[in-house]
Every structure is written in C-alpha cells, then in structure tokens.
Amino acid sequence: MSTVVHASQDIGVWTRMSLLNISHDLTGYAEVCSLFLSPRYRTAGVGGLLSRSRFMFIVQFMARFPQRLCAEELRGHFDEAGESPFWNAVGSHFYQIDFNEADYLSSHGKESFVAELMPHYPVYLDLLPDAARDAVGVTHKDTAPARRMLEAEGLRYENHIDIFDAGLVLECHIADLRTVRESRLARVEIGVSAADETGAGAAKSLISNTRLHDFRCGAVAVQDGAFVLTPEQAAALCVSEGEGEDVRVLTSYPRAGWKRSGDDMSMYIDGEWQEGRGAAFESRNPGTDETVWQGRGASPEDVDRAVKAARRAFATWSAMPFR
C-alpha cells in the first residue's frame, strides 16, 4: 500500500488516500512459510517449538540466507459466511474464479495466472466497499497466535498485503531477528542438571545442535545458567556423549543466569529494584507460550522518577570515558 495526496488551493480541499499497487519489493527475500501440525500434537508448546526452530536454523547457517525475511502466508480476514470481503471486492473481478480455486492453484505451483490477470494500475482503497477496506491488513483469528510469535521474533508489518485476501505481510532484516541477536553458542555437559532434579518451575530455553544435515532443536529446562543435557536429550538432539560439543542456545525471559534481588520487582530505578505501579501484565516465552514472569508496568509517576534519576546521573555518566 502507498499514500497519495490530492489538493486544490482554489477550493481549499486536501485529501490523503491509500493506494493498492502491485509490488515486487519482496523479490529475493527468504520466506517463512506456513506449517501444519496435526491437532493431536498441538499441546505443551509443540507448535511454537516447531515454528521457532526455523529461526534457530537460520542463525546457525546465515550464509545460506539473504539479508531480508518475510512471512506472506498469514491468512487474512474472512466473514462469518467464510467469504473474503477483499477477494469479493477486488480479486474476483480480475480472476473470474472463486477464492478457494485461486488459492489452490497458487499453492500448487500454478502462479502464472496471478501476474497475467492482476490489475496493472493502482486501486484506490477508498473506492472499495467498507467490508473490503476493513479487511485490509487484518489477520484471521486462527492465525493471530502465529502473528504474535512472528512479531515477538522481530518481524513487522511494512504496508505489504496479500493480493488475494489482503492479509498482512510481516518482514524484517534477518540480523534483527531476536534469535539472531540473543542466541549464542555454548558448551554443554551431559549428565543430570539441577533443573531435572527440581522438576517443574525451571525456565526452558531453545537449544539446537550445529549440524546442517541432521539439524535438531528442542526445549530444555535450564537453571542457574547451566546447560546440562540428560543422555536422552543429548541423543534426541544428536549431541555427542563424553565431553559434549557446542550447541546453540536461546534463553527464555528472564535470561538464565541473570540475577536480581526481588523476583517480584519489575523495574530498576535510581539504583534499586522497585515494584511498578502501573497495569499488571505477563511476559510469555514465544517459543513455548508459557508464562515466565508476571508483574506490573510503569505508572506515570514511575516514569517521572526514572527520568529525574537519569537527569541526576547524567553529569557524572556523560563525563566518563568510553573505556
């Protein structure tokens, strides 16, 4: 989508309108495609693990990928009758087939008709029916969890939508992915970890091997920053026994091994941990969808105290050398 401005000084009218244009901006991007997981396995964060494992593979073998990444297959809005308002208002007039047939053809490699029959001139969004306009950039309710996971990973909506149902397209630089920024290589041991002994309650981290042709990824409980695999976990991840080997680790929130005084405190202001006085919220691990922390956000008074503390510290900190 793009924006165009029309203005007339003579009659004092100024309007800004949205245009739908055919775009090739995503040419050369790597694409995060759809996954289908059997309903009987959609428990205990398995879907999130399967999805996040792709990013663990990308960061491990970044030389095999371009600089940018997109997710185009986020299903758009459909009404209660199962119809796409956007397709009915736009695509159906150009392609002369119903949505399901067009979707089937494009998903089975017959995509030439999309370019051959699509509109070659801009479409003014304001000229479409209300239902079609309201569907632009809206994600289907069943796809909302996938969207939240991708946005937590760092992908963002940049005004690209799907030509069929107007579902949004998410994109980012691969270097901006959370997994790229925060994962690290670690040496693990094989034995019995403290997390295994204490059982439930230990935070889980994504962990993968570093093998191209036998890549494995899983979620492992971590405690006190120690990455210890049981023999069964090591076998599942294809990690050698004995002295162990390097694995890639993406820690959960809060990061394993990160210590603070007072786990119920949510913010650090003026040299001490303090409980926020704003609205309550929870932080969820996007890889497993489990709640890893609950607390309260900042109130306007908290923000004011933080700004004042920063101003008091500025004179000293700004004079400090870089080293």
| 252-290 pLDDT tens trace | 543 433 333 344 456 778 777 777 777 777 776 665 566
Known catalytic residues are 140
> Per this entry, what is the length of the chain?
323
The predicted-structure confidence for 196-209, as pLDDT tens digits, reads as follows 555 555 667 888 98
CATH fold of 183-250: Barwin-like endoglucanases (2.40.40)
Its pTM surpasses 0.85? no
- In the chain, DSSP finds a helix count (H) and a strand count (E) of 11, 17
* Domain coordinates in residue numbering, the chain: 2-176, 183-250, 267-318
DSSP state letters, 226-273 = B-EE-HHHHHHTT--STT--EEEEE--SSPTT---S-TT--EEETTEE
Tokens representing 11? 């009659």
- The pLDDT tens digits for 115-159 are 788 888 899 999 999 999 999 999 988 888 888 889 988 999 999
Cα–Cα dist 65/174, whole Å: 8
Q: Which CATH superfamily is domain 2-176 in?
A: Gcn5-related N-acetyltransferase (GNAT) (3.40.630.30)
H helical segments located in 89-186: 92-95, 99-107, 112-117, 130-135, 144-153, 178-182
How far apart are alpha carbons 271 and 1 in whole angstroms? 47
**Cα–Cα distance between 186 and 257 in angstroms, integer?**
13
- Out of 98-107, 164-173, 219-228, 261-270, pick the least confident: 261-270
Summarize pLDDT for 241-251 with one digit per residue, the tens.
Answer: 554 567 888 87
